[in-house]
Amino acid sequence: MRTKIIVVTIFLLLVLSAGCIGSSFKNAKKLYATAMHYYNNGEYELSLAACDKVLDIDSQNADAWYLKSMCYYYLGDYDEGINSVDTALEIDSQHANAWVMKGTYCAAYEDYEGSLEAVDKALEFDSENENAWLLRGMCYYYSNDYNESLNSIDNALESNPGKVTAWIWKGKLHESLEQHEEALNAYDKALELNPNDIEAWMLKGITYDSLEQYDDAINAYDKVLELNPASSEAWELKRNLLYKLDRTEEADICYAKVDDLLDWDNF
């Protein structure tokens, strides 16, 4: 009888323990969702705090370590970010997004070879990872291998045709290869997806300038300035083009605007 009581007691303790563990992991899941919410809103410090609470419950949560690495990246704390992503990969060596993040840190230090190694590892586990293909394309771009870069960007767009950043990079690559019409087509595609993308308008203006379609170039720069009147780069590009067209009075206005913005930046 006593033995039976002991067995029943142990069983109840195990059930209660399992219930506590289940409850803890549910809490960890909620906390992770909170961390993601903060991250998506650009509240990286709060996201880190939520991740730490997740890791207090489950120190082997690779996703939480990965999310910490992304937060640290945007906070500019690369050392902590690298430590976090390395921990994520120690826990889950097949975490494709963590490999992409590791590659991102390598690229930030201009270690494009290391970045490509990490990206290829990501693609080994997720061959359709759009961010891996995009980062691969960027690394080859900065390594001056434009054809391989373009192949990678095209793969990113196969995985996600709605990725604005990939269309912009496709345009930049075509421009680097002096394929101006193809570049414009890519920028137009980006602007179909996001009509207010400042970078796409800026690059479109530069391409029009290369094609000597100056009115179109000025219109593109004006669109940038409509979206961001404080863009000293757009004012400068417009100024240079107006001087080239001997529209000196208009160019002087742009020149003064650039000076004002630079003075404000140095204040």
Residue 1 is assigned to a structural domain of this protein:
no
pTM: 0.84
State the Cα torsion 97-101-103-105 to the nearest 10°. 180
Other C-beta atoms lying within 10 Å of the C-beta of residue 33: 11
Q: What is the pLDDT of residue 27?
A: 87
C-alpha–C-alpha distance, residues 235 and 166, integer Å = 26
Asked if residue 10 lies in contact with residue 18, where contact means CB atoms within 8 angstroms, the answer is no
Supply the range of the domain harboring residue 225.
163-267
Spatial CB neighbours of 35, under 8 Å, sequence gap ≥ 6:
47, 48, 50, 51, 54, 64, 67
**Total structural domains within the chain:** 1
Residue 88 is assigned to a structural domain of this protein:
no
Residue 172 is assigned to a structural domain of this protein:
yes
One digit per residue, the tens of pLDDT, for the chain of length 267 reads 554 544 444 333 333 333 444 456 678 899 999 999 999 999 999 999 999 999 999 999 999 999 999 999 999 999 999 999 999 999 999 999 999 999 999 999 999 999 999 999 999 999 999 999 999 999 999 999 999 999 999 999 999 999 999 999 999 999 999 999 999 999 999 999 999 999 999 999 999 999 999 999 999 999 999 999 999 899 999 999 999 999 988 888 888 888 778 765 544
Residue 39 is assigned to a structural domain of this protein:
no
Residue 22 is assigned to a structural domain of this protein:
no
* CATH number of the domain that residue 174 is part of: 1.25.40.10
Residue 226 is assigned to a structural domain of this protein:
yes
Residue 19 is assigned to a structural domain of this protein:
no
Residue 29 is assigned to a structural domain of this protein:
no
